[in-house]
Chains A and B, each alone.
Chain A
């Protein structure tokens, strides 16, 4: 496991992905900083403009921006690469000849992808907090419910939100893992995973398919707003956990069924 993590995080590509994610809050903060003075007086601040009042909000705003596409993209790259990447390098056969054990390899690969999900969400939130703190005033935070919390607690809330966003991506990771066992072309698995994340969000936006929405893995992706109320509304948090666990179970089982019997010919 530690070896898997070190291979993942010693890779330049992983760092490039995380840097790209860190660039999002920076872009958001800089753009807002340069343009916010132009907002007409009398109008309430727009969503993004709220960050001018408190730098700690940058991380959350950046997360809102990156959840629909950027985060799933990076997760798709990592999850799609899990098995297919090893297969295309040929290292898969040497891992299996050790023997690493097929089930063990699958579990370790999935855990590493999960670790990346959390790292990715944390990167966005932390980079946002740092950039925000350096560009905008920092002070007690007004929540969506109107209550005010201290700076310390707001940091805690930010971490909670990052955790929520990371957990939201676990279902997608499981799908990526399964697709990755189907092919020896990592790029194909990556693309398929990313496309599925987009499809899921499109389905989620079609009101005619309302019955389907609670079953889509992307349904609760933006649900972290409820963690920014006082008291915290845990409802979506729990539903999200259950939904992601369901996806992990189903696609984990599919990946297992596929990988255990697969002929490794690469």
Chain B
């Protein structure tokens, strides 16, 4: 990394970052690279180490091993230089319940030695307006709803102009409208040149607002890149719907493909009353096979299938959705990691 081109440095870079609690590695050798100006989605199921990574990144907790650079400076050694340029919402908002929303922001802002006290009032007002809390500014926080606290937490991150925003689960507890507002806010901040690092377990959220993403699973980083890159990591599949399973598989193998285990197309079968169902050898089955680089063109496959006497009733080439990738990377089901 050349020091004369600081803007080319990643906003966040970790190398072999590890954090152990006792014997358990909550974060295990992760190498993150968040480019400047990106809206970076940090995905992973609950308990996969996202928040711990953020804590270590921001100097709240010490790494067991590995290095972290934020905005080109080593953390936590240059914490005092870096953190004033970072706005953060970490593991939910937290405020003094006995103070009003505005008083809370005043209090947190005055903890920053570099924040100017002359502009504080104006900055608090602006931040509250940005998240739509102006009308509730004077209300004590214990009377706030979860969504209002979340908005106040985001306002807190926006009190000063920031180069990097770290938002941990920013849409938690927000209604659909609030979620939309957060998305728009993130987009407008990114358009202004701010790098935004958003952690989330909601795939749709990441898919809608991010340019890049990384996926965590059980403390390990299992994928990262632009959204398109992530989608394409999984191989496209050719899918053939036909009753002639054995023949179709033979044809595919002859063409150098490796068909997956066949899946009966239950949907088609269920639509028909039991006594009208076709005999077993007449039922449609989905035969699919991954399409590696150098695989024959789809039209050539269809041609070969038809020529081989396969009754092709459906054919398609499908890229895996981000959701399929996510599930493939992190495992299925409700089990929290470990």
Question: Mostly helix, strand, loop or mixed at chain B's interface?
Answer: loop
Q: Judging by beta carbons under 8 Å apart, are A99 and B80 in contact?
A: yes
A236 to B17, CA, bound (A): 55
- Our count of residue pairs bridging A and B at CB distance below 8 angstroms stands at 76
Question: Mostly helix, strand, loop or mixed at chain A's interface?
Answer: helix
Interface residues contributed by chain A, number (CB under 8 Å):
25
Complex contacts, A6 vs chain B, CB 8 Å: 107
Complex contacts, B79 vs chain A, CB 8 Å: 99
A98 at the interface (CB under 8 A from B): yes
Q: Quick one: which of B138-191 are within 8 Å of A by CB?
A: 156
Task: Identify B60's interface contact among A10, A11, A89, A93, CB under 8 A.
Answer: A93
A254 to B51, CA, bound (A): 29
Among A12, A99, A105, residue most surrounded by chain B Cβ atoms (within 10 Å): A99
Q: Judging by beta carbons under 8 Å apart, are A263 and B106 in contact?
A: no
A154 to B84, CA, bound (A): 52
Q: Given A93-B60, A98-B111, check contact A11 B86 (CB 8 Å).
A: no
Q: Judging by beta carbons under 8 Å apart, are B61 and A263 in contact?
A: yes
A99 to B75, CA, bound (A): 13
B95 at the interface (CB under 8 A from A): yes
Q: Judging by beta carbons under 8 Å apart, are A94 and B108 in contact?
A: yes
Q: Judging by beta carbons under 8 Å apart, are B94 and A89 in contact?
A: yes
Q: Given A99-B83, A265-B61, check contact A90 B99 (CB 8 Å).
A: no
**Whole-angstrom distance between the Cβ of A264 and the nearest chain B Cβ:** 4
Complex contacts, B115 vs chain A, CB 8 Å: 98
B260 at the interface (CB under 8 A from A): no
Q: Given A10-B99, A97-B60, A99-B80, check contact A264 B55 (CB 8 Å).
A: yes
B244 at the interface (CB under 8 A from A): no
A208 at the interface (CB under 8 A from B): no
Complex contacts, A98 vs chain B, CB 8 Å: 83-84, 108-109, 111-112, 115
Q: Judging by beta carbons under 8 Å apart, are A263 and B83 in contact?
A: no
Among A98, A100, A264, residue most surrounded by chain B Cβ atoms (within 10 Å): A98
Task: Identify A264's interface contact among B60, B97, B107, CB under 8 A.
Answer: B60
**Whole-angstrom distance between the Cβ of B68 and the nearest chain A Cβ:** 14
Complex contacts, B156 vs chain A, CB 8 Å: 94
A30 at the interface (CB under 8 A from B): no
A230 at the interface (CB under 8 A from B): no
Which B residue sits closest to A96, measured CB to CB? B60
A35 at the interface (CB under 8 A from B): no
Q: What are some 25 contacts across the A-B interface (CB < 8 A)?
A: A3-B107, A7-B96, A11-B98, A12-B98, A89-B95, A89-B96, A89-B97, A91-B108, A93-B90, A94-B108, A94-B156, A96-B60, A97-B58, A97-B60, A97-B90, A98-B109, A98-B111, A98-B115, A99-B59, A99-B112, A100-B112, A263-B62, A264-B61, A265-B55, A265-B61
- Given A94-B156, A97-B83, A263-B62: 6 more A-B contacts, CB < 8 Å: A7-B96, A10-B99, A11-B98, A93-B90, A97-B86, A99-B84
